[in-house]
Amino acid sequence: MPESSPVFKRILVANRGEIASRLIRACHAAGAEAVAVYSEADADAPYVGQADAAVAIGPGAPAESYLNFDAVLGAARSSGAEAVHPGYGFLSENPDFAEACESGGLTWVGPPPSAMRAMADKVDARRLVHAAGVPVVPGTEGPVTPEQAHEAAAELNFPLMVKAAKGGGGIGMTVVRDHDQLGAAVETAAARAGAAFGDPSVYLERYVERPRHIEVQVMGEADGSVFHLFERECSVQRRHQKVIEETPSLALDQATRDALCQAAVRAAEAVGYRSAGTVEFIFGGGEFYFLEMNTRLQVEHPITEETTGTDLALAQLRIAAGEPSGIDAVRRHGHAIEFRIYAEDPVRFLPSPGLIETWVEPGGDGIRVDSGVAAGYRVTHLYDPLLAKLIVSAGDRDTAIDRAIRALEEFQVAGVKNNIPTHLEVLASTEFRSGDYDTGLLEVLGERRKMAVR
Per DSSP, 121 falls in state B
Dihedral (CA of 82, 88, 89, 93) sign: positive
Smallest CA-to-CA distance from 298 within 278, 322, 326, 323 is with 278
Cα dihedral 64, 193, 387, 450, rounded to 10, equals: 150
- The identity of residue 350, as a single letter, is L
Q: How many CB atoms lie within 10 A of CB 422?
A: 25
Per DSSP, 193 falls in state H
Q: How many CB atoms lie within 10 A of CB 67?
A: 16
Structural contact between residues 261 and 279, judged by C-beta atoms closer than 8 angstroms: no
Structural contact between residues 317 and 325, judged by C-beta atoms closer than 8 angstroms: no
Residue 28: which region, alpha, beta or left (left: phi > 0; alpha: psi -120 to 50)? alpha
- Report d(CA 10, CA 409) in Å as an integer: 39
Structural contact between residues 102 and 73, judged by C-beta atoms closer than 8 angstroms: no
433: annotated active-site residue? no
Helix residue ranges per DSSP H, 121-244? 122-131, 146-156, 179-197
Burial category of 351 from C-beta neighbours within 10 Å (exposed 0-12, middle 13-18, buried 19 and up): middle
Q: Which of 296, 318, 340, 403 is catalytic?
A: 296
Residues labelled as active-site residues: 296
